[in-house]
Structure formats: C-alpha cells, structure tokens
Amino acid sequence: MSNDRVGIIGIGQSEFRSRRDDASYPELVREAVVPAMRDAELDFDAIQAVVYSLSPDAMVGIGNAERLGVDAVGGRNKPFLRINNGGATGISSVIAAYYHVASGLFDVVLTAGADKVGECGDSQTVLNKIWDPSYERPLPLGTINMLAMSAVRYMNFYGMTEEDMARVTVKNRRHASLNPKAHLRKPVTIDDVMASRTISWPIKLLDCCPQSTGGAAMVLASERFIRDNHLDAVWITGVGHSAETYWMGDRMGNNPTAEHAGAHALGRSFEKSYRMAGITDPERQVHVAELYAPFSNTEFHCIDAARLVAKPGDSIARLRDGEFELGGRLPVNPSGGTLCTNAIAVTAMARVAEVALQVWGRAGTHQAQGARLGIASGNGGDHQIFGTVVIEA
Amino acid sequence: MGLRIQPAVIGCAVRPVIAARNRSLEETIYDTAQLALRDAGITIADIDGIVVAANDQFDGRSISVMMASGPVGGVDRDIMSTPSASEHAFIMGALRVASGQFHTQLVVSWSPTEVSSMQEAQRLGTDPYFHRGLPLDEMSAHALQASALEHAVPGARQAAEAVAAKNREHGRLAWPDPPLYPAAGPLRWPLTPAMTTAPVSGAVALVLASPEFVTDRGLHDVAWLRGMGWATEPGFLGDRDLSTAPALAAAVRQAYEAAGIGDPATDFDLAEVTDATPYTELLAYEALGLCPRDAWLAGSTDGSFARGGRVPANLSGGVLTWNPVFCTGLMRIGELANQIRGKAGAHQQANARCGVAHAGSGFALQYQAAVILAREPRL
C-alpha cells in the first residue's frame, strides 16, 4: 500500500437549479471547474490528468458527451477518461482520480462533470432503460418504485413509518435552507410531506429528490506536491466500491442474495474504506456524513450500512431524537443531501465535496462544528453499485 | 514519475468476432471473462477489482456496467466502468494495481452490433447544434482525416492502399477461417471498400496482476507493463488539424518516457495499432517514431511493417480484418499481450519480447493511447 496520502486541494460547485437555459452543457462544467482551480490556486498547466464524471448519456441527450467537455476541463492533449457508475459516478470519479495519484503517475488530477437532469424531459423514462429490456423494463420499473419496494420492506423489518420518512425530508430541507448551492431550499414540515401526493407508496412527492442541473469539480494532489507547494488540503484516507446483483428479484423473496430493505454492498464498501482509514468504531469516530439518499427512506439504510448506529433500524429512533441534525451528535447530510439536489452525474461528487468542506471547516452556514473526520457515499444503477470515501482534516 | 507498482498482463481472451447466435450479450461477456481467467490460471475468486467498458448506445442500455456486473463477477466486488473508451478500462485497471490497493484486475470490453443503425448511434455522439445535422458519423470523420492526409502528404493514398493490403494479408494468416471482409456499407470519399471493414460483434478481456501476485502464483507467461500514455483531442472536429495527431504524440511521450524507449525502430519487436482506416495506421507510424510521414510510401511498400519486416505491424490483421467497433482499442492491447506471452497462435511473432500497442477511438480517433508490454519487467 502506498505510504503517500492523496489530498483534496480544490473544490468547485455550480449553483444547482431545475433549468439552466443560459448555460450549455460544457459551460456548466466550466462553471464548476473555474472555482475549483481558483480554490486550488493552480493554473491549468498544473493539471496532469482529468477524470470526467458523467452518468447516463441520455440525461444530456448526447452520446459520450464527455467528448464535448474536453476543453471545458482543460483536457486537450492530456490524459483524460470518463467514469460512469450510474448515480455513484461522482464518487467513483473522485476515487478514480485518487487512483491516478496513488499510482505514482501523477501529482495533480482534476475530476469534473455536470448534468442537465432538469432539462432531460423525464429522468424516469431515461432511467427505465437501465433495466433488462425483456423482463424488468416493461413493468415498468423506475428508480422511484424500485426504492418504494425497499421502503415497504424496511417498514416491515424495522417499523419505519411514513412520518419517519417525512422527518428525513424535514431535516434535510432545513439543512439545504442553509446551503446556498442547494436546489430545494424551502423548509417544509411533516404535515407538508404527508399531504404531498403519493408517487409510489409509501414515497410521496416531498420524499423525492429533484431533477437538478449543475456541475461539480475537485482537484486532488499527492502529499509530496501539497507539501512542496505549501498548499492547504484535507486527506482521502479510505476509498472503496462494492456492487449488488443487477436483478431486483434476487434481492427479495425468501433467500435474497442481498436484502433490498438494506444496502448490503454499501456496507461492504464502507468496510473497505474504514479498514483502509483505520476506523474500527464508526459510530464514535465519524463526525459528519454525506450519504447518497435520493429518497427519504433510503437515508435510514445508508446510516445503518455506514454503521453509524449499533444495528440496522436503530437509525429510525436516533433520527427522531435529532442526532443527525446540524447541531446534533453526528450530522447527516448537512448540505441537504441528494434529497434536495440531484444532478446525477455529479451528485455523489457533491457528497465528497461537501464532506471535504466540512472537515476543512469551510462549509459556511451549514458547518458541522468540530468535524475532523467525515464519510461520503454514492449509489448507482438500480441501487446496485456503491462507492465510499473517508476524508480527514 | 512512474507507476509505484508495475502491473503485468497474466491472462487474455480476444474474441474479435462472435458469431454464435445462441448466446446472449450477458453470456458472451461471461464466456469472455471466464476465458481470460482460465488463460491466467485463476478463478474469479482471485479477482479483487473489475473495470469494464462499453457503449450505452450500442448496448441499448442507459448504464451498461449494471447488466455486465453479474457476468464479469462484479457482485460483491469493486467494479468501475470507463465508457469513454475500451482502452481506458485497461488504463484504469493498471492504475488500480499500481496504487497498491489491488493485486488483480479483470478488464472487460465488448461491442455488439444489434443496434438498428450504428451510424445513427454514432451520430448521437456529435454536438446537437453544429455537427449532428451534417450528419456526422465515425466513417465520415475518418474520411475527413483521410482527405486531410492526402492533401498534406504526397503519396499518402498509395501508402494507405499498401497498409490495407498488408493488414488483409496478415488477417488471412491470423484467422483459420478466412475472414469475409464484409462491406462497410455506405462509404465516404476518399475511403474505399478495401480501406474499411463492417462492424462485427466482439469482446475482449484481460487480467492484470501485481508483481507480488505473479511471484506468489509462480506465473511465467506474463507481459509486463513498461509504460502507458493516453490523451485526448478536443471534441469539435473544427478545432483539430486532422492531418496531425497531437494527442497521440502526447500519449507516446508519456509511454516512452516511462519505458525508457530511445529508438522505437529497434526497441520494439512488433506493434499493434488502431487501423480504423489505413490512414490512422500511418499516423500511428509517425507518432510512434516508426516512420516519418515523408517516408510513409517507402515504408509501407518495402515490407518494413509486414510479417518478417523491421517492426511488423498488426500481425493480427488489425481492425481492417475484424472491426468490433467499441472494443478495438482494448483488442490491440490484448493482441500485443498475447504476442509477448507467446500465445498469439497462427500469427505469433517469433521471439516477441517487447512491443507497443496503439489504441484510438472516437471521431477521427479523438482518444489516443499507447501501451508498451515486454517479457521482462525492466530494460
């Protein structure tokens, strides 16, 4: 294992909105790249390689749209490749950039991307095409009814109620109201959520993430480069991925390979990240978490999988007690999270960026006080491919 | 800087044409991955990371890695995908081994032909405002490049015709069943039927391992990664001089610096290059330092790059023999690995000890990569 650490030295995020008719797709990428470069105090000549973050092409309506982003990220005649792990793409791109540096081949690597989910027409129509064309696509499956099935099972196993789901939305909207980059910033009440229309029971409109448009970028560097250039950084000390079966039916029934109520592979990915970072008791060692939860119910099983509670299902009572609020014992999604902003290609990168800002002490109005060690996660595909990182000050 | 840990290719399965109609895409991917693992003498239990590459538009899926996860053994494993190019999956796999966090990587790419119109699928990859309406597809971009080269380099056309004839000749030896050289469909001037090949379904898989794994398992038939480089040109064709390949030159510089290549004409025993058209093979000769453009015609007609020549190029027959569009780049790396490991079969080059693979993809080969593999880990 490499002895040299990999640090984050620059972060950029655009503001996330429903539409950005004033910005083309490459311009949106550029909006995130420029502040990231300014944050890193570097010019483009310093960037040795680029990892491009883009999930389904159909969201932007251009096949291999990363090709049109080359100049936006300053990638011309440089090492450049794209990652697509579905919704996990953003965190997988950060991890890919991490491997670029950890391999010893590069000192400074940029990862960046953007998405126009809010302008794709209907993301569920695009996302239906992720499933098998013969068996699952005609049902029709979408990511909402897929995770509604997870919610029903979680209710059955652990006693989650629709009001518990609403509490997640209320918490995250309150957090998002403090985050100027977030898309949905209007605080809501439990009654508001309960009164919103049912999309796929038990998921209601206000239990759902928005379709967002925006970009994100991060600059990673080797410890040697950071020291030599006297740069400020936070450190990636743990990374991991793991995947579940593609087939929804194999996660349900009497003997599932991985129970759909939970997030088995997310837990496996966290195990790897924690082992790498030397974390043995995440419940006590983790100070802040940005967990990819596009629907309110999924935040519970993400907290379980990250072992921020003693056993699965404990997250329900702990959330009721306010432990995961800003100001609570272990703030979860202090940015408002995926539930308030979801530009799919970079959503999981935003999770990493937000945790980095937290442990750096630079999260501004949504800062978790005293956070020195944080975790982030991303979910891709049909709740199938998971990526995780640990970041320390 | 160089890689902290030097990966080796320990297994490979190159399936440039898949004609079996009774196998689904999932089964084809499974078969190919298993062949590579068997070639390495290991099982999926020995694999701790996977990188795959496919084109969503060709596959007809929004996120191809999802379906592939099962067939390649991705369940409960660390899996990533690089849909930008098949060769990028190799690069990502090598970086992961070099990071010290993996002992092994399974790298898999595939390219089906079931899409109703490959030209339309490619056209969706163009800018929607300026290029899509032309209409532009990969054949058109290759033709524009060929035209630019014919204008810039006297004798380029004759050189290209000689390269095409050479690769077809190599292809006849490489594959026991004579290739059909299917017509490529509507052509674009100045490309001719002899310079293009119709898409076929194909798949390729490689297994990479750390030196520690190679030693622990007592593996000998390995190809060590001496150097690799990759780069991209801008997305708009109008921003490029198609008679040059600056991204390939940048990629080659990276690879040669890492491998300590001083004189490619003598350091390499063979080359596998992406001959999407013979013109791209000529550009590769120049960028790889094998033949300057003013000597293309002489070099292409004097046997220098033919079997038995100075640096045989595309002993496999190249893309001009089989063209599984998306995975041709990784296939070049796989073919080189097989040569270095002495497992190339009918087209094996005797005493192949060090070679270079050029992998290019996209419109007029926007993405470029160079990979150097050798029998010995160091010079």
CATH topology of domain B133-200+228-374: Peroxisomal Thiolase; Chain A, domain 1 (3.40.47)
Q: How confident is the model at residue A89 (pLDDT cuts 50, 70, 90)?
A: very high
Cα-to-chain-centroid distance, residue A184: 16
B52-71: buried (b, 16+ CB within 10 Å) or exposed (e) per residue? bbbbbbbbbbbbbbbbbbbb
Nearest CA in chain A to B132: A62
d(CA A271, CA A263): 13
- In the Cβ-directed half-sphere of B8, how many Cα atoms lie within 13 Å? 23
Rg of chain A (C-alpha set)? 19
- Give the separation between CA B262 and CA B297, rounded to whole angstroms: 24
- In chain B, the residue whose alpha carbon lies closest to the alpha carbon of A381 is B66
Q: Do B99 and A246 touch (CB under 8 A)?
A: no
Task: Tell whether omega for the bond before A202 is within 30 degrees of 0, i.e. cis.
Answer: yes
Contacts of A57 in chain B (CB under 8 A): 56-57, 62, 83, 124
**Nearest chain A alpha carbon to B123:** A63
- Give the model's pLDDT for residue A1: 40
Alpha-carbon distance A12 to A32, whole Å? 5
Topology alike, domains B8-117+201-216 and B133-200+228-374: yes
Would you state the pLDDT for residue A148?
A: 97
Considering the domain A6-121+211-228 in this protein, what is its CATH number?
A: 3.40.47.10
Residue B76 CB: number of other CB atoms within 10 A? 16
Nearest to A64 among B84, B96, B100 (CB): B84
With an 8 Å Cβ cutoff, is A225 touching chain B? no
- Which parts of chain B sit beneath pLDDT 50? none
Optimal mutation site among B62, B106, B120, interface A, most CBs of chain A within 10 A: B62
Average pLDDT of chain A, as a whole number: 96
* Amino acid identity, position B221: D
- pLDDT value for B297: 98
d(CA A260, CA A171): 24
Contacts of B133 in chain A (CB under 8 A): none
Q: Between A239, A245, A385, which is nearest B70 by CB?
A: A245
Tell me the one-letter amino acid at B105. Answer: Q
Domain B8-117+201-216: CATH architecture, name and number where available = 3-Layer(aba) Sandwich (3.40)
For residue B153, give both structure tokens. 């380099």
Show Cβ contacts of residue B226 under 8 Å, excluding neighbours closer than 6 positions: B258, B259, B260, B354, B372, B373, B374, B377, B378, B379
Residue B115 touches partner A, C-beta closer than 8 Å: no
How far apart CA B33 and CA B19 sit, in angstroms, is 17
Q: How far are the Cα atoms of B162, B286, B332 from residue B322, in angstroms, in the given order?
A: 18, 23, 11
Amino acid of residue B3: L
B333, B355 Cβ separation under 8 angstroms: no
Domain boundaries, chain B: 8-117+201-216, 133-200+228-374
Read off the tokens for B110: 């595939």
A268 interface with B at CB cutoff 8 Å: yes
Q: How confident is the model at residue A253 (pLDDT cuts 50, 70, 90)?
A: confident
**Shortest alpha-carbon distance between residue B4 and chain A (Å):** 5
Sheet holding B354-361, edge to edge: B79-81, B50-53, B104-111, B202-209, B8-15, B223-232, B367-374, B354-361, B270-272
Residue carrying structure tokens 């949504």: A366
Mind listing the pLDDT tens digit for each residue in B288-330? Answer: 999 999 999 999 999 999 999 999 999 999 999 999 999 999 9
- Interface touch A68/B235, C-beta < 8 Å: yes
Half-sphere exposure of A100 (CA within 13 A, CB side): 31
**How far does chain A reach from its first CA to its final CA, in angstroms?**
21
* pLDDT per residue as tens digits for the range A17-60: 999 999 999 999 999 999 999 999 999 999 999 999 999 998 99
Question: Given the structure tokens 């520690």, which residue do they identify?
Answer: B212
> Which of A289, A338, A232, A276 lies closest to A99, judged by CA?
A276
The closest of A145, A119, A102 to A4, measured between CA atoms, is A102
Q: Count CB neighbours of A274 within 10 A.
A: 23
Residue A51: strand, helix, or coil: strand
A274 Rama class: left (phi>0) / alpha (psi -120 to 50) / beta = alpha
The 3-state DSSP class for residue B140 equals helix
HEC states along B298-367? Answer: HHHHCCCCCCCCCCCECCCCCCCCCECHHHHHHHHHHHHHHHHCCCCHHHCCCCCCEEEEEEEECCCCCE
Which two structure tokens, joined as six digits, stand for A236? 């990636």
Cβ–Cβ gap A56/B95 under 8 Å: no
Q: How far apart are the first and last CA of chain B?
A: 17
Q: What is the pLDDT of residues A141-181, one digit of tens each?
A: 999 999 999 999 999 999 999 999 999 999 999 999 999 99
In this complex, is the C-beta atom of B230 within 8 Å of any C-beta atom belonging to chain A?
A: yes
Domain spans of chain A?
6-121+211-228
H or E element, residue B37: helix B25-40
Q: Are B323 and B332 in contact (CB under 8 A)?
A: no
Whether chain B has a CB inside 8 Å of the CB on A84: the answer is yes
Give the A window 3-62 contacts with B, CB below 8 Å.
52, 55-58, 61-62
In chain A, which ranges are continuous DSSP H helix?
25-40, 89-102, 123-128, 143-158, 162-176, 190-195, 223-228, 264-277, 282-285, 296-305, 314-320, 344-360
pLDDT at position A360 is 98
CB contact under 8 A, B63 and A268: no
Neighbours of B31 (CB within 10 A): 18
Write down the pLDDT at residue A91. 98
Residues of A in contact with B3 (CB under 8 A): 103-105
Q: Which tokens sit at A247?
A: 């087939």
Give Dmax (Cα) for chain A.
57
Amino acid at B46: D
Identify from B51, B78, B330 which residue to disrupt to test chain A contact, counting A C-beta atoms within 10 A and taking the largest count: B78
CB interface of A with B, residues 273-292, below 8 Å: 276
Q: Return residues 127-146 of B near A (CB < 8 Å).
A: 127-128
pLDDT at A206 over 50: yes
Contact of B373 with B354, CB cutoff 8 Å? yes
* Structure token pair of residue A82: 């794209």
What does the alpha-carbon distance between residue A86 and residue A53 come to, in Å, rounded to a whole number? 10
Amino acid at B250: A
Cβ distance A79 to B92 less than 8 Å, yes or no, reads no
The DSSP call for residue A73 is: G
Residue type for A172, please? Answer: N
Q: Give A88's contacts in chain B (Cβ within 8 Å).
A: none
Q: What distances in angstroms separate CA B323 from CA A81, B90, B214, one per listed residue?
A: 22, 19, 32
Q: Which of B77, B125, B127 sits opposite A243 (nearest CB)?
A: B77
- Cβ-Cβ contacts under 8 Å between A and B: the total is 203
Q: How far apart are CA B97 and CA B75, in angstroms?
A: 20
Query: By the 8 A CB rule, do A97 and A109 touch?
Result: yes
Which residues in B lie closer than 8 A to residue A75 (C-beta atoms)? 232
Are B372 and B252 in contact by the 8 Å Cβ rule? The answer is no
Report field, pTM of the whole predicted structure over 0.90: yes
Contacts of A152 (CB under 8 A, 6+ apart): A201, A202
A207 inside 8 A of chain B by CB: no
Look at residue A2 in the predicted model and tell me its pLDDT: 45
Structure tokens of B364? 């007029």
Q: Provide, as residue numbers in chain B, all residues whose Cβ is less than 8 Å from the Cβ of A2.
A: 4, 99-101
Question: Mind listing the pLDDT tens digit for each residue in B157-168?
Answer: 999 999 999 999
A269-325 tens-digit pLDDT:
999 999 999 999 999 999 999 999 999 999 999 999 999 999 999 999 999 999 999
Rounded to an integer, the average pLDDT of A85-105 is 98
Are B233 and A70 in contact (CB < 8 Å)?
yes
Task: Name the DSSP letter for residue A338.
Answer: T
From chain B, the residues in CB contact with A69 under 8 A are 235
φ and ψ at residue B242, rounded to 5 degrees: -70, -5
Cβ within 8 Å of A, B 81-100: 81-85, 88, 91-92, 94-96, 98-100
B346 in Cβ contact with B367 (< 8 Å): no
Chain B residues 234-253 with CB within 8 Å of chain A: 234-236, 239, 246-247, 250-251
A124 in contact with B, Cβ within 8 Å: no
Q: Directed axis angle between helix A162-176 and helix A296-305, to 10°?
A: 90
